[in-house]
Amino acid sequence: MAALFENDELLALDKPPGVSLATSSRADKSGSAAVERLLLSCKEVARPGMLLVHRLDLPTTGVVLLAKSDAAHRILSRAFQSGGARKTYRALAWGHPVPAAGSWTDPLGRDPRDGRKTKARADGKRALTRYRTLRRMPSPAIVDLELSPETGRTHQIRAHAATHGHPLVGDDLYGGATRWRGVRDRRLRQALAEVDRPLLHAARIEIPELSLDVAAPLPRDFQELLDVLGATRPKTRS
């Protein structure tokens, strides 16, 4: 079910992959056009006046909030800008982070060699991503991560994970799309080869001040790969 929550102020939707929420001055890239694309992809009827509160990357799935009025948009936007909105993501990444839980604090900025990418740079903007290992698959070495970005840099989770040697499974931009070629098990190799996007999911948004707590279930491709891989609980490491 694409509609996750609704009240008089907002609508929360479960965004599928492949829907662009990017906006610009072009008519087909306006905020209203992005809302229309999202509603259509979620099989919701057109709703004039709905406003996009925040964005997810094209391949990312999960919770997106739409405001029903200018006043609601201001309140929700303020929560995101002030840190009052707690965002929790799930991701499958290559390797096993050590320690199993921690923070990535590398400043991030545009990659001068590839303008599509973000990279760690000494002169970049402050960025903080907290992560926690939920499950660890030993062979191939893949980890199921819970991540909480406390800043909002472009591709923040993807760039931080890749910087620390753990690109997301399926992420062709940050080096995680072809590692499956070294997997020996034929069934696992085939399952990993079929992943066609970075496996990153906006699982939950909490805004305690507004008594708002919305969660989205894992999408099918993410859950099916978890089922194929199997999982083992990580040993505690410091």
What is the domain-level CATH number for residue 5? 3.30.2350.10
Predicted confidence (pLDDT) at residue 181 exceeds the cutoff of 90:
no
- pTM for this structure? 0.92
Chain Cα centroid distance, residue 143: 15
The residue out of 82, 115, 143 marking a domain boundary is 82
Q: Do 167 and 51 share a structural domain?
A: no
Residue 238 lies in a domain: no
Q: Do 60 and 35 share a structural domain?
A: yes
Q: Do 60 and 160 share a structural domain?
A: no
8, 14, 28, 57: the active-site residue:
57
Q: Is 113 exposed, middle or buried (0-12, 13-18, 19+ CB in 10 A)?
A: exposed
Q: For the segment 58-116, what is each residue's pLDDT rounded down to a tens digit?
A: 999 999 999 999 999 999 999 999 999 999 999 999 999 999 999 999 999 999 999 99
**What are the strands, taking DSSP E only, across 111-172?**
118-120, 129-137, 142-149
Instruction: Reply yes or no on whether 57 is catalytic.
Output: yes
DSSP-assigned beta bridge partners for residue 133: 145
Count of domains for the chain: 2
Q: For the segment 68-77, what is each residue's pLDDT rounded down to a tens digit?
A: 999 999 999 9
